[in-house]
Amino acid sequence: MKRVLLDLWSVEGHIRAHIMITRWLCLHIPALGKILSMLMDRIMLSLYGIDLTGKSIDVAALSISHPAGVLLGGNGIRSSGRVAIMAGVKFVARSPSNEEYLRRQKEQRVFELGDNVVIGANSVVIGPLHICDDVVIGAMSLVNRDITEPGVYVGTPARKISDVVSDEWVSHLKKIERRQS
């Protein structure tokens, strides 16, 4: 019980609850729900400095412990696993006229992330793209193409430097198994 209360009090708990509530509002109360979720998204920007569109984020277990300057936007971030995003991370589009981007944005699947994905502080992820399971992206890296092999990636553009990956950044998140829809 103590752990549940602490989780609800934490910034991470607030962010996860926000995303859950805004997704529910948009799915169950179409017109009014969209308006309420947009207002709630602006509150998150004011409170925590995290720019997001909660209805477009579908991550089973998300950690954003220091949300200042994080841009998740409304392009669609999907993961059936555990994802940790550090301060200052930006998810952006390659080009607003890119055909693949437009197709995946309609499906809200511009960014597809695996399980045990960690994106280091001030990194930029340019989509559309896919990141496989067990990937750590170092701070201040630029990810501009799919990552298909597990490992540690750093630099501009991000290059693989190691095969050794642990789950220490996401170990506090409960692993949730979901079926892909």
Average pLDDT of span 151-166: 95
Average pLDDT of span 38-48: 87
Q: How confident is the model at residue 175 (pLDDT cuts 50, 70, 90)?
A: low
Average pLDDT of span 30-54: 87
pLDDT tops 50 at residue 180 = no
Helices (H), the chain: 2-9, 11-28, 30-48, 99-106
pLDDT tops 50 at residue 154 = yes
Phi and psi angles of residue 102, each rounded to the nearest 5 degrees, phi first: -60, -40
In single-letter form, the type of residue at position 160 comes to K
The pLDDT value recorded for residue 4 is: 56
45 HSE (CA, 13 A, CB side) = 13
Q: Which residues in 140-168 are b (16+ Cβ under 10 Å) and which e?
A: ebbbeeebeebbbbbeeebeeeeeebebe
Burial of 181: CB neighbours in 10 Å, binned 0-12, 13-18, 19+: exposed
CA 65 to mean position of chain CA atoms: 12
pLDDT tops 60 at residue 12 = yes
Sign of the alpha-carbon dihedral angle for 173, 51, 68, 28: negative
The pLDDT value recorded for residue 8 is: 57
pTM equals: 0.83
Identify which has the larger pLDDT, 7 or 64: 64
End-to-end CA distance of the chain: 32
pLDDT tops 70 at residue 178 = no
The pLDDT value recorded for residue 52 is: 85
Query: Tens digits of per-residue pLDDT, 92-123?
Result: 988 888 889 889 988 889 999 999 999 999 99
Q: Average per-residue pLDDT in the chain?
A: 87
The span from the CA of 157 to the CA of 31, in Å, is 41
